[in-house]
Amino acid sequence: MGIVFWMFSLLALPVIQSAKILTVCLIGGSHYLLLDEISHNLYQHGHEVRMLLQLGNPVITGFSYVGRADSYQTSIWSVGEEYIKEYNGWFLQQQTQFFLGRDTFQNFLNFMGHLSYQCDMLLKDKEMMTFLQKELYDIAILDAFNPCSFILARKLGVSYIAFYPGALNGPLSIPLPSPVTYIPVFGSQLSDHMNLWGRAKNLFYSLLAPVGQECVWSKFRDVAERHLESGSPPGGLEELHQGAELWAFNTDFSLEFPQPLMPYTVLVGGLLNKPAKPPDQDLELWISSFGDEGFIVVTLGSMVSSVSVDSLLEELVAGFSRIPQGVLWRYDQKQWPSQLERPPNVRLVDWLPLNDLLGHKKARLFITHGGQNSLLQAVYHAVPVLAIPLFGDQFDNVVRAETKGFGFSISPTQISGELLSSTIHTLIQDKRFKSSAVSMSRIHKSHPVPPALRMVQWVEHILHTGGGAHLRPASLEQPWYQRNLLDLGLLLFLGLLAPVVLCWTFCRKRNSRDKHKKIN
């Protein structure tokens, strides 16, 4: 039935010639996994696809970082081994800070500073830039989280689609109609149901958001000035965002809070979700050894391969040792402390097939950092989650999971063995969490068009129509004061003020004449 649907969908598409498409992946981890999937899907639909892949970002242990040999082409670029060693050392230090609950905006700006330096080095590579310019791509698909992607597309003179790997209203995405009364601003950690103080907090964060984006752009302004013929865009990052033909977001309304969208925004969340394949025989035997108790999957993200705080690791081990389920834990075994004994129900692996494990009939719970891809895979396979958010959008993501009723979250600084084991017990034994997960999975899977095909169709729509001008409202070209009716507000204020001033002046003069007559 699924094959028939896809064939029908393909026949319904407008017939277009094969296009030359550039996908840009300058950040590793889950960003790469998503761009790899998009590139592969476009290739399968007959397009000539090349990914510009930057190596040197924190790698995904146990996973090939060179694309698919039988699929799209790859141009690999690296900033150099010496810097890569320094950068990965810095990122490892950041991981420790995350586990200690020290995720700050300054850390985020430091990360953007690294991306800016890498961007400058890439754009200075004349050989790579000349090669990409000669290819004459029809369109580029950018990782919209990295401002460098936009600068690169502008330098190459190619139209582009912005793919944002997170939820709506992210820190570096295009503004959408977002009433602060019910749409949480990034970083607010609010749900869509706010009390008075929640709305006050949301308003405050909405006022800070443009300031934060300007701080990020300040890290890239000099790079754009040096490498773009027209210099740094006057409108900064917002202008580059508005130049996209389309914005595709890695989310959907099974997980996202409902909100207004614009014609140039599409939701394609769940690109990595697929029906589960059986695990290998050795892993299946291990899972079977726990009988009906089942097993728990533990992974804290594609870029975090181990817990680097011993006190936290000890509490996690203490919690896992108290539960009857098996614990399959993605952990760099070389980093495991030699003095810490591993419980018999815990199995460490360098890499785990997350999609296939979550789809296993004996998967009982998913312990995750709360990354967008991880939560969407949990939704797809209807597995409750226990989230341990560490940095970035993960704090907002887990609020959605809790509000939707299919999980809990615990701060890494609050974890104890007792709290961990009791929370796991509650999430597995209380059927309401599984019921909510099943309901969300039904919503997610019931979308008329699968996310992979949805993305391809929108890309081909942009190619077929010659761009996305028909999707962009005039508001994107209006100055901020016009868009927010401040000019009209000023005019109305002056219109109301003028009669008051005239009346006051007239009354003052009349009183003055009356006083003058009385004196005389």
* DSSP per position, 370-412: --HHHHHHHHHHT--EEE---STTHHHHHHHHHHHTSEEE--T
Alpha carbons 363 and 520: distance in angstroms, whole number: 100
Number of domains in the chain: 3
Q: Which of 1-5, 367-371, 483-487 has the lowest mean pLDDT?
A: 1-5
Q: What would the pLDDT profile of 184-214 be if each residue is shown by its tens digit? A: 999 999 999 999 999 999 999 999 999 999 9
Question: In the predicted model, is pLDDT for residue 365 greater than 60?
Answer: yes
- Same structural domain, 156 and 228: yes
pLDDT at 300: 87
Dihedral in degrees, nearest 10, Cα atoms 298, 431, 451, 145: -50
pLDDT at 513: 63
- Same structural domain, 472 and 462: no
- Same structural domain, 425 and 350: yes
Q: Who has greater pLDDT, 303 or 494?
A: 494
- Same structural domain, 288 and 407: yes
Is there a domain that residue 31 lies in? yes
Pure H helices in 136-194: 147-156
pLDDT at 276: 94
**Given pLDDT bands bounded at 50, 70 and 90, which one contains residue 67?**
low
Alpha carbons 406 and 58: distance in angstroms, whole number: 30
Q: What would the pLDDT profile of 103-112 be if each residue is shown by its tens digit? A: 888 999 999 9
Which range, 300-314, 339-353, 437-451, 472-486, is most confident?
437-451
Is there a domain that residue 508 lies in? no
- Region class of 65: left (phi > 0), else alpha (psi between -120 and 50), else beta: alpha
User: Which residue, among 129, 174, 154, has the nearest Cα to 224 in the 3D structure?
Assistant: 154
- Same structural domain, 382 and 474: no
**Given pLDDT bands bounded at 50, 70 and 90, which one contains residue 504?**
confident
- Same structural domain, 454 and 440: no
Alpha carbons 384 and 437: distance in angstroms, whole number: 6
Pure H helices in 45-192: 81-99, 105-124, 126-135, 147-156
pLDDT at 1: 45
CA distances from 147 to 122, 164, 186, 227, 371 (A): 13, 11, 18, 14, 20
CA distances from 205 to 110, 148, 168, 212, 372 (A): 21, 25, 15, 10, 21
Question: In the predicted model, is pLDDT for residue 368 greater than 90?
Answer: yes
User: Can you tell me the mean pLDDT for 413-425?
Assistant: 94
Alpha carbons 189 and 45: distance in angstroms, whole number: 39
**Given pLDDT bands bounded at 50, 70 and 90, which one contains residue 5?**
very low
**Given pLDDT bands bounded at 50, 70 and 90, which one contains residue 330?**
very high
| CATH label of the domain that carries residue 256 | 3.40.50.2000
- Same structural domain, 441 and 452: no
Q: What rounded mean pLDDT belongs to the chain? A: 89
Q: What would the pLDDT profile of 260-276 be if each residue is shown by its tens digit? A: 999 999 999 999 999 99
- Same structural domain, 140 and 228: yes
CA distances from 225 to 154, 228, 234 (A): 12, 6, 10
The pTM is what? 0.90
Q: Who has greater pLDDT, 237 or 482?
A: 237
- Same structural domain, 169 and 256: yes
- Same structural domain, 235 and 264: yes
- Same structural domain, 138 and 254: yes
Is there a domain that residue 509 lies in? no
Is there a domain that residue 493 lies in? yes
pLDDT at 519: 59
User: Which residue, among 356, 341, 347, has the nearest Cα to 298 in the 3D structure?
Assistant: 347
Question: 101 lies in which domain range?
Answer: 16-272+448-467
**Given pLDDT bands bounded at 50, 70 and 90, which one contains residue 4?**
very low
- Same structural domain, 235 and 347: no
Q: What would the pLDDT profile of 110-144 be if each residue is shown by its tens digit? A: 999 999 999 999 999 999 999 999 999 999 999 99
Is there a domain that residue 309 lies in? yes
Question: In the predicted model, is pLDDT for residue 294 greater than 80?
Answer: yes
User: Can you tell me the mean pLDDT for 482-501?
Assistant: 81
User: Can you tell me the mean pLDDT for 416-422?
Assistant: 95
Question: In the predicted model, is pLDDT for residue 89 greater than 50?
Answer: yes
